[in-house]
Amino acid sequence: MAEETKQSQEKKLAVVLVRGLVGVKHTVKNTINLLNLSRVNQCVIIDATPINLGMLKKAKDYITWGEVDDKTFQELVEKRGQEFKGVTQDLNGKYTYKKFFEFNSKKYKKVFRLNPPRKGFGRKGIKKPFNMGGSLGNRDKKMVDLIKRML
């Protein structure tokens, strides 16, 4: 049982916001904001912890997620990673600190801005789950294909 928790902590999940947030319940919108997703086609990489998996299940009608291997993660950082420059100042004059991660001794923002996927999300659109031919929910290993089509 301890080995399963180590393996689940090592797994990285890519989460992509598929649908917009207009008219969404506040609880779901707050969960999506905690995942650092604010716009459609944004992607974040998170660990597969039980807390994060619960957040994904709560927002399953608006996001898609799946496992990402190291090669795809490295390609994502190289092509779409934005370097973290430090403290930023917003319109009101307040300073905000954005979250970042380190990769090859450089700091990058956690959010990746992606293009819409070539040939679309799925044949039944963005309102059906993935297992019914749509684009929402858990994709498991097929998330790598979606990310490559969005790069």
Q: Which residues pair with 47 in a beta bridge?
A: 12
pLDDT (tens digit, 9 = 90+) per residue, 73-131?
Answer: 889 988 887 777 766 556 666 655 556 777 777 778 888 999 999 988 878 888 888 88
Q: Where are the beta strands (DSSP E) in the chain?
A: 12-17, 42-47, 63-67, 88-89, 95-96, 100-103, 106-109, 112-113, 137-140
pLDDT at 29: 93
pLDDT (tens digit, 9 = 90+) per residue, 7-49?
Answer: 444 788 999 999 999 999 999 999 999 998 999 999 999 999 9
- The full set of domain ranges for the chain reads 2-139
CATH architecture of 2-139: 2-Layer Sandwich (3.30)
Q: Which residues pair with 113 in a beta bridge?
A: 42
